[in-house]
Amino acid sequence: MESIELAVNENMAATAFSRQAPVFDNLYGGNTIVSYKRWRVRSHALNYLPEQGSILELNCGTGEDALFFAQNGFKVHGTDLSTGMLQQFAQKTSSHRDKVSFEQCSFTGLGALQNKGPYDMIFSNFGGLNCTGELDKVLASFDDLLKPGGVATLVIISKFCLWETLLVFKGKFKTAFRRFFSSKGRKARVEGEFFKCWYYNPGYVRGKLGEEFELLNIEGLCTIVPPSYIENFAEKHPSLYRCLVKQEDRFKGNWPWKFMGDYYIISVKKRS
């Protein structure tokens, strides 16, 4: 019964993001902090990609990251369950068909992929993997899809966010503590559609991948820089924002900051 409920939840999330797909880039494309996050994630991933390497992208969305990687010489196979997102992906990457392909597939159904690679990297950005309560199932599929020495770079919403917890001082108790009581998932809403999301610590990812994978790096994302949902922070406080970016870039991989962000970036390497 639980597996059926989780599958229904995935389809509800896919429906929500299909509705949002036509306006997704307009909503977030001009957000200064979102742009900073993309730069951070891409810089991190590039450290582990071989020249002209191949990437399997999970929850590829409208194709922003796939387009970036293709323009930098990498081959990308994008996957998403959302029909609307894949329509946007196809349009955005249409001039890079020599580098970019895609298919509709849930990240919990990667065993059914038509293009199984193997790949140099599995890449997932901005908490797409938080839309499943079966992250263990997703991670279990990585071994077959990665080359020996291949890397998985994942951006996951963490179970503790310093900025979010501090909202308690503004009286936003529900938001401040929502990650603390989320073992059975927390309700999210996108374009009028409700679905559940889950939060995961880096230790969970490492534990489920097991000894077949070596930890390469963990970085906190939006630990000192505020989350992008704090609207217009960078525009209202430009000098402070630049200072916070400088400090986060300095401490992003240090304890405790790497465990206190809105997200964390984790990279693991499949042992040869």
pLDDT tens digits for range 14-69 = 999 999 999 999 989 889 999 999 999 999 999 999 999 999 999 999 999 999 99
Q: Does 9 score more than 60 pLDDT? A: yes
Cis peptide before 256 (omega within 30 of 0): yes
Tell me what percent of the residues of the chain surpass a pLDDT of 90. 93
DSSP designation for 143: H
**Contact call for residues 204 and 154 (beta carbons, < 8 A):** no
- At residue 137, the 3 state secondary structure works out as helix
Q: Categorize the per-residue pLDDT at 214 as very low, low, confident or very high, splitting at 50, 70 and 90.
A: very high
Give the per-residue pLDDT at 18: 97
For residue 271, give the 3-state DSSP assignment.
coil
pLDDT of amino acid 116: 93
Residues 6+ apart with CB under 8 A from 6: 108, 132, 133, 134
DSSP code at position 32:
H
CA distances from 144 to 111, 119, 185, 228 (A): 9, 9, 28, 35
